[in-house]
Amino acid sequence: MTRRNLLGLAGGMAAIPLVAACQPRTDDTSSDQRDHGSHSDRHGDDRHGDDKNSTGRLLRSDARLPEPFTSPLPVPPVLRPVRTDATTDYYEITQRPGRAGILPGYSTEVWGYDGRFPGPTIESRSGRQVVVRHRNELPVPTVTHLHGGVTPSRYDGYPTDVVLPVGGRSAGSAGAIAHGSFDYAYPLGQPAATLWYHDHRMDFTGPQVYRGLAGFHLVHDAVEEALPLPRRERDVPLMICDRAFAADGSFHYPSIDSSLTGEPGVTSDFMKGVLGDVILVNGAPWPVLEVAAVRYRFRLLNASNARRYQLALDPPPPSGTAFVQVGSDVGLLGRPIDHEAIDIAPAERFDVVVDFGSYPVGTQVTLVNRYGTGSTGHVMRFHVVRKARDDSTVPPRLADLEQPSPPSTITRRMKFSRSGSHYETWTINGQAFDPNRIDAQVSLGATERWLITTNADHPVHIHLGHFQVLSRNGGKPGPYDAGWKDTVDMRPEDEVEIVVRFNGYRGRYVFHCHNLEHEDMAMMANIEVT
Ligand SMILES: [Cu+2]
């Protein structure tokens, strides 16, 4: 019997209505149970007060948690290249354990890029190649994926293409194995965008990202630089994620084997996803940022394993809209879009401008999460401390957005659901991930029309292929679907039609759910570009 079957018999039980009535109550969200034909197992109340807008289960911290809005917002340092030549910038990152003072009075071990969480930010220029030598000084194999990158297959971070720890022995991985370090080469022939890099190790992505393996990679280009958007210290990346902390201040995660060297996966009660009760921004709990009463550009990234957020400002600005969106996952929008609030699913990015100019000096503006309650209902705070000169604006036109012409018929259908004889695992079209099976054969340069359906909250992420949403549930795209994307937020029972283009490179790539617990439980499939 395989691990997934074992997990299934335990974890799948709750999905069978007759049995579920006898199960102990949990604070699982109920949303993904609709497709099992009965509502009798839905939990009417929620003892732990978490939201119904994420598929997952709340894990409570045992550590003493600080008052919110007491830590200053950290901004990850920008990494300097070790050398550059006419075409390429070369970087070196060592993945290693480090210590971080995340909660006051505690020291937390992180597994970080250069021992930091978040990792250092890489800033690069469209059209200039970047080579990052990743050295692995962690006790486990790792794989690094540049999320949103148009990258040759060998460097894309395929889940079995592991980098073994320095001095480590091969554990029989099925992929390409590097010993101690590997040079990831990124051509970056793509427009300005907020990309991010994170671990992608087969079966262990959830716990390895949770321990800290995530960082920003910003791409700039001439189109972006010609725009009068806020710059420098007024262009701030915000990595939002939730965590739980054990009594000793360590990250608390329900791994079956916390060494991450043996049995993969989480305990069966967390197979829907792990939700923490502490919201971190750039690694600090509910931080505060002092701002001038001017415009700021915030690159919002949801780096959570499973949590969705609805972000809003409290109080809302006295005039104007809270957020003016200027970019989506993989580039600038054609025109800005006003949002009073933003729904953001795991792995999505929203590049937004917030104008603090209409708030009186002295105002405390809280970035709230309307989908959370209690400790998860707020994210961070902006303190408007002074007036300042503001030369920035958001112009009515941002970039020339290509509108791909989709084929007239659906070329592929992808159903993301929990399935198997006892709903034992997360699958795509009923199948668990198999590195040896090609699920979609695509011609290089092809434009395809995909119809994606879901039974729970599944943020669907495609490697290599960027896409636009054509329709949502038979109607127009949703308010958060604009622009070129690599991840689409799908709610239970959603049906989303996309047009996706596979440009750049031949080879094998994955697409998967970016709820990392679902991904680790095999909700992933292969694309082969030929
Ligand atoms: Cu999922």
Radius of gyration of the chain (CA): 22
For residues 59 and 78, give the distance between their C-alpha atoms in angstroms, rounded to a whole number.
32
b/e per residue 112-125 (b: at least 16 CB within 10 A): bbbbbbbbbbbebe
Identity of residue 392 = S
Asked if residue 59 has pLDDT above 70, the reply is: yes
What is the Cβ-side half-sphere exposure of residue 379, based on CA atoms within 13 angstroms? 27
Ligand 1 centroid–CA 363 distance in Å is: 39
In the reported structure, the alpha carbon of residue 529 is separated from the centroid of ligand 1 by a whole-number distance in angstroms of 24
pLDDT value at residue 425: 84
341 CA to middle of ligand 1, Å? 23
Task: Tell me the CA–centroid distance for residue 458 and ligand 1, in Å.
Answer: 4
CB-based contact 351:297 (threshold 8 Å): yes
Average pLDDT, the chain: 90
What's residue 271's pLDDT? 93
Instruction: Answer whether 178's CB lies under 8 Å from 164's CB.
Output: yes
Ligand 1 centroid–CA 90 distance in Å is: 35
User: Per residue, what are the HEC states of 307-319?
Assistant: CCEEEEEECCCCC
> Rounded to the nearest whole angstrom, what is the distance from the C-alpha of residue 242 to the centroid of ligand 1?
17
Mean pLDDT of 279-308: 98
Q: Which residues pair with 440 in a beta bridge?
A: 527
Distance 480 CA to ligand 1 centre (A): 19
Sort 35 into a burial class: Cβ within 10 Å, 0-12 / 13-18 / 19+.
middle
User: What local confidence, expressed as pLDDT, does residue 242 receive?
Assistant: 98
Rounded Cα–Cα distance for residues 163 and 149 (Å) = 19
Question: Is residue 488 within 8 Å of 462, Cβ to Cβ?
Answer: no
Cα of 331 from ligand 1 centre, angstroms: 24
C-alpha of residue 3 to centroid of ligand 1, in Å: 19
Nearest to 198 by CA among 260, 134, 251: 134
Give distance in angstroms: CA of 225 to centre of ligand 1.
36
362: buried, middle or exposed (CB in 10 Å: 19+, 13-18, 0-12)? exposed
Distance 73 CA to ligand 1 centre (A): 30
CA of 18 to the centre of ligand 1 (A): 24
Predicted confidence at residue 422, as pLDDT, reads: 55
pLDDT one-digit tens code per residue, 224-252: 999 999 999 999 999 999 999 999 999 99
* pLDDT 10s digits, 329-355: 999 999 999 999 999 999 999 999 999
Q: How far is the CA of 307 from the centre of ligand 1 (A)?
A: 11
What's the pLDDT tens digit per position in 133-180? Answer: 999 999 999 999 999 999 999 999 999 999 999 988 766 667 889 999
Question: Which stretch of DSSP H or E encloses residue 7?
Answer: helix 3-11
Calculate the alpha carbon distances from 60 to 27, 89, 206, 251 in Å. 11, 43, 17, 11
Alpha carbon of 107 to ligand 1 centroid (Å): 32
Distance, CA 485 to ligand 1 centroid (Å)? 17
Separation of 515 CA from ligand 1 center, angstroms? 5
Select from 18, 17, 22 the least CA-distant residue to 30.
Answer: 17
Distance from Cα 81 to the centre of ligand 1, integer Å: 36
CA 330 to ligand 1 center in whole angstroms: 21
Question: What pLDDT does 482 receive?
Answer: 98
Report how far residue 481's alpha carbon sits from residue 307's, in angstroms, rounded to the nearest whole number. 18
Please list the alpha-helical segments (H only) found in 326-447: none
447 Cα to the center of ligand 1, angstroms: 25
Pairing of strands 193-199, 181-186: unpaired
Which of 342, 140, 398 has its CA nearest to residue 260? 140
| Cα 378 to averaged position of ligand 1 atoms, centre (Å) | 24
| Higher per-residue confidence, 17 vs 523 | 523
Number of separate helices (H) and strands (E) present in the chain: 5, 36
pTM value is: 0.91
| Interacting residues of 459 by C-beta distance below 8 A, sequence separation 6+ | 308, 345, 346, 347, 348, 487, 488, 489, 490, 513, 514, 515
In contact, 295 and 357? CB cutoff 8 Å: yes
The CA 457 to ligand 1 mean position distance, Å, reads 6
